[in-house]
Amino acid sequence: MPVISAPQEFNQDDLYVDLGTALGIPLFLKCEGFNFTGSIKQKAAVEMVEAAERDGVLGPDSILVESSSGNLGIALSVIAANKGYRFVCVTDPRCTLAARRVMSVLGTTVHTVPEPDRDGGFLAARINHVRALCADDARYVWLNQYANAANWRAHHRHTAPAVDRAFPRLDVLFVGAGTTGTLMGCARWYREHRPHVRIVAVDSSGSVTFGRPSAPRMIPGLGSGVRPPLLDEEFVDEVIIVPEAEAVRTCHRLAAAGFVFGGSTGTVVSGARQWLDTAAPRTRLTCVAIAPDLGERYLDTIYRPQWVESVYGNDILDPLRPEPAGQ
């Protein structure tokens, strides 16, 4: 029986969903949302905060500050509350109301940048705001998830080895690309220990991460308006691009089978399905996809028909039912 004294000490790291039954695809989904911060971002948040503490960067008067579209902001809010740090999260209008409320309940000060930067979108605008705060007050400590090696090291230490323990004969791993911390940590581990495993990155349409043109994106989490400094494409075997509308449809398909996941998970599963559809003769492959979070924080967006129809059109939520296994 687990007994903890701090919320960040608990993480359920060995739960998988067999999507052969739910969606009829040969894919195991690693569920990362069962911890007190509600997402995979807890791992990176813990690693970055503890590294800053070891390096003497954080002191009694420090104010943590970070740019986040939601999940990392919540993870840092939990840790900051537990450790007694002040925390300012800089986000943008795409951050869900639920995420902003959770952060506020935990004592975080939330700054929302109202307009995107002309060149780098909302991400660049958020980073500019963080830099202005740090320049104005030396007490601010920016962990910088976008360039902090502790981000990918968290997944090199924990996520990839956990997948390997569960699936020692893995063939393909699907990982979403946001800051690329999860992607790089897993890809580096597998290159070192299981180089035959194929690493497939999944990105959102409109993201510039892999050199494609920028376009508006409404779902927080995956994708970026600025190329992530952590990314090293040499470790990535393939890239799949998923339109947001298809990610939303996949979320609703999963919900119809009883699984309510977040938008990032819908994107990753959509990308994995796209890849598997082209690999039909190789369906005996063992494949795992990483699900970053659950769906409760998206009830006012991707699970609200009025919001979905206003953003993506009236026809994307035609009646969706679970597809029978083998189809």
Output the DSSP codes for 116-134. Answer: -BTTTHHHHHHHHHHHHHH
What's the confidence (pLDDT) of residue 120?
82
What would the mean pLDDT of 198-203 be, rounded to a whole number? 98
Q: Round to whole Å and give the CA distance between 262 and 221.
A: 9
CATH code assigned at 228? 3.40.50.1100
| Same-domain status, 48 and 162 | no
| Same-domain status, 12 and 56 | no
Among the three residues 114, 142, 170, which one is the final residue of a domain in this structure? Answer: 142
In percent, how much of the chain has pLDDT > 70? 96
Among the residue ranges 14-23, 65-74, 230-239, 314-323, the one predicted with the least confidence is: 314-323
Of 315 and 184, the one with more pLDDT = 184
Q: How far apart are the first and last CA of the chain?
A: 40
pLDDT at 145 over 60: yes
pLDDT interval class at 118 (50, 70, 90): confident
Helix, strand or coil, per DSSP, at residue 197 = coil
What's the confidence (pLDDT) of residue 323?
47
Q: With respect to residue 147, please indicate whether it lies within any of the assigned structural domains.
A: no
Q: Domain range for residue 127?
A: 41-142
| Same-domain status, 221 and 300 | yes
110 to each of 87, 89, 181, 223, how far by Cα in Å? Answer: 9, 5, 23, 22
| Same-domain status, 177 and 304 | yes
Among the three residues 112, 142, 172, which one is the final residue of a domain in this structure? Answer: 142
256 to each of 48, 54, 90, 112, how far by Cα in Å? Answer: 37, 46, 34, 33
13 to each of 162, 165, 234, 301, how far by Cα in Å? Answer: 7, 11, 27, 27
What would the mean pLDDT of 261-276 be, rounded to a whole number? 96
pLDDT interval class at 282 (50, 70, 90): low
Spatial CA neighbour of 224 closest among 121, 312, 139? 121
Query: 210: how many CB neighbours lie within 10 A of its CB?
Result: 17
